[in-house]
Structure 1
């Protein structure tokens, strides 16, 4: 398809697509002549991902470029490729390692991972911003006298493991590894609000069943 067709199918203006091309967010099309290029379904798919990152996730262009660089890095194994792309998304700042709440939270998170047998998560912990985010969240709870420990977190972690299995089952329903990694990144940006909303709806439903609505 030509640029105008790509714009029409994606709902993104030609000007914006040209900007994404200049910024390296969208790979160039196949050059037909000096002034015309041809684009394929992979460009349409990438545009959806770019729009999810920038317009929905509010990810800065430079960060989006870094994320997409990991998505396209075929030299990485699938787990590292996916992890690197997701880790490049905006994350929590580094916690204060001298804060007693952070020290206690880190110990409980490590104990949780040991209890669950999540050895890969333990090995990647020093590098993982996701691990850091969990430590920061647990530390905040502990400062407010909600002493969440490994035993309290374990049932929630096991439920989220079931969600992760469904995520990967859905991801693997797509043909290419590039599509799978793109989908995982897009889902992280787009699907997190769905999970939060479902959690709150489930709380409302369970509360009504237990206590009524009057």
Structure 2
């Protein structure tokens, strides 16, 4: 297919497609003439993955390039591909050296050791967790660290579900792509679902939202 058809099928403007090719995110098409190139289904799939990582996963173009570089490296173990994707989700803030950061860092290191996780407190995700807990401590919610094991229980269930999905993929190309999707887009899915449950639990604990009617209320009104 020509680049115009590729653009139409994926919803990505032609100039953006050319930009992705220049940046190495998208392989170039096969030249059919000095000014024309042909694209196929692999380009459609890769473009959709790029847009998902950008629009849903929230990754920057440079981060996407690094992740896709890991995906395209046949010598890279799947575990390393997952690490490359997970690392790109981290923030890039400098660490603070206050008491809250020290307490949070110690709590995260203890959590990792207690759970027997095969990682280290220098992992970008651990550093993000440390920063989040330190921020909570600074605003008077240091007691939130008491919930770490509850969060860890939930995280282990979700992570196993993610990787269980990945392990069902047979082809190598699908396998590494699924690792990226399960890590980056799965993060967005879990975050959105958590917000939905927060609304539900808040309604149960603090009173129902008056804008939402239950079937019981509708039935009761109809029988009056």
Moved more, 13-22 or 152-161: 13-22
- Say if 2:164 is the partner of 1:165: no
8 Å contact 2:7–2:13 — kept in the other structure? yes
Q: CA RMSD in A?
A: 2.6
State the TM-score, normalizing by the size of structure 1: 0.82
User: How many Å apart are 1:138 and its aligned residue?
Assistant: 0.9
Pairing 1:52-67 to 2, within 5 Å after superposition: 52-67=52-67
Pairing 1:43-82 to 2, within 5 Å after superposition: 43-82=43-82
Which 5+ residue runs of structure 2 have no aligned equivalent? 211-224
Max radius of gyration: which structure?
A: 2
Greater than 6 Å deviation, 4+ residue runs: none
Q: Relative to structure 1, is the Cα distance of residues 113 and 151 closer, same or farther in structure 2, using a 3 angstrom cutoff?
A: farther
User: How many Å apart are 1:185 and its aligned residue?
Assistant: 3.1
Which of 108, 129, 136 is residue 134 of structure 1 equivalent to? 129
8 Å contact 1:108–1:150 — kept in the other structure? yes
Which 5+ residue runs of structure 1 have no aligned equivalent? none
Counterpart residue number, 2:119 = 121
Pairing 1:63-212 to 2, within 5 Å after superposition: 63-89=63-89, 91-96=91-96, 98-118=97-117, 120-122=118-120, 125-126=121-122, 128-148=123-143, 151-212=146-207
Structure with more relative contact order (C-alpha pairs < 8 Å, separation 6 or more): 1
- d(CA) in 2 for partners of 1:88, 1:194: 17
State the TM-score, normalizing by the size of structure 2: 0.79
User: How many Å apart are 1:108 and its aligned residue?
Assistant: 0.6
